């Protein structure tokens, strides 16, 4: 004869079973949360983080500056433009010892002396003195750019030095060939071995020039 469990005992067993089931579910959820905290969803984080589109673009292009910083400095003799008007060409002629010569650079002047600075980073390749041209400094830059500074004094650099854009090189002065201009700087610019008008290149990117 089969022995039946009493009703209170059956209820007690049901209650114990349900408690075990609920406890198991709670334990699984707790373990799952712990695992999630140790192993975050990195794919989700990357979607909400900073993207490349959020990073501002900084312009790092280097442009050619003028060989002086004094805003009162003016052009006292222009570069000779073979395609310029007759009047423009007359104003760009240098007269010295009964000889007329086209100016292959630009002369910048002011009554008072002013600082002469490097137009770009570069290496000093020449520091010399000439009876006609006065003191001369030549600097080689990137992309075939060469700058020459004449009619200067109190030179602060020497051959072989490396200079930074804006570094002081010398002070404006005079030269025998352009003594009529009094205190000034004579400046020449060469790009890929071609003498050019400096006024056409100031504020231009060296990458653009070298293209």
Average pLDDT across the chain, whole number: 83
pLDDT at 54 over 70: no
φ and ψ at residue 111, rounded to 5 degrees: -60, -45
Q: What is the pLDDT of residue 9?
A: 47
Q: Confidence band (pLDDT; 50, 70, 90) for 102?
A: very high
Please list, in sequence order, all residues whose beta carbon lies within 8 angstroms of the beta carbon of residue 167, skipping any fewer than 6 positions away.
117, 118, 157
The helix or strand, by DSSP H or E, that contains position 178, with its residue range, turns out to be none
Task: Please give the residue that has the higher pLDDT: either 136 or 9.
Answer: 136
Q: Beta strand 168-172 with 145-153: parallel, antiparallel or unpaired?
A: antiparallel
Please give the average per-residue pLDDT across 107-114, as a whole number.
Answer: 97
Domain ranges of the chain: 7-48, 74-210
Helical residues (DSSP H) of the chain, grouped into ranges: 7-38, 42-48, 86-90, 206-210
Give the chain's radius of gyration (CA, Å).
39
pLDDT (tens digit per residue) in 59-92 = 568 999 999 999 999 999 999 999 889 999 999 9
pLDDT (tens digit per residue) in 120-148 = 999 999 999 999 999 999 999 999 999 99
pTM for this prediction: 0.71
What are the Cα distances from residue 150, in Å, to 12, 86, 171, 185?
109, 26, 10, 6
Q: What is the pLDDT of residue 42?
A: 44
Q: Is 110 exposed, middle or buried (0-12, 13-18, 19+ CB in 10 A)?
A: middle
pLDDT at 40 over 70: no
pLDDT (tens digit per residue) in 13-31 = 555 555 565 555 555 555 5
Please list, in sequence order, all residues whose beta carbon lies within 8 angstroms of the beta carbon of residue 199, skipping any fewer than 6 positions away.
75, 78, 79, 106
Hey, which CATH number is domain 74-210, 3.40.50.2300, 3.90.650.10, 3.30.70.2740, 2.70.70.10?
2.70.70.10
């Amino acid at each position: 004869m089969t022995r039946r469990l009493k009703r209170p005992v059956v209820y007690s067993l049901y209650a114990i079973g349900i408690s075990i089931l609920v406890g198991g579910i709670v334990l699984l959820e707790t373990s799952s949360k712990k695992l999630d905290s140790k192993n975050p969803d990195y794919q989700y984080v990357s979607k909400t983080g900073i993207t490349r589109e959020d990073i501002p673009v900084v312009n790092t292009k280097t442009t050619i500056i003028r060989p002086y910083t004094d805003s009162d400095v003016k052009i006292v003799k222009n570069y000779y433009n073979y395609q310029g008007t007759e009047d423009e060409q007359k104003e760009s002629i240098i007269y010295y010892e009964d000889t007329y010569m086209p100016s292959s650079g630009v002369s910048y002047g002011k009554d008072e002396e002013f600082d002469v600075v490097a137009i770009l980073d570069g290496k000093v390749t020449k520091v010399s003195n000439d009876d006609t041209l006065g003191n001369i400094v030549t600097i080689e830059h990137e992309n075939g750019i060469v700058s020459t500074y004449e009619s200067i004094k109190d030179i602060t650099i020497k051959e072989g030095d490396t200079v930074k854009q804006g570094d002081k090189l010398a002070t404006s002065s005079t030269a025998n060939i352009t003594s009529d201009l009094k205190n000034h700087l004579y400046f020449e610019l060469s790009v890929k071995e071609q003498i050019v008008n400096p006024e056409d290149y100031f504020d231009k990117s060296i990458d653009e020039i070298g293209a």
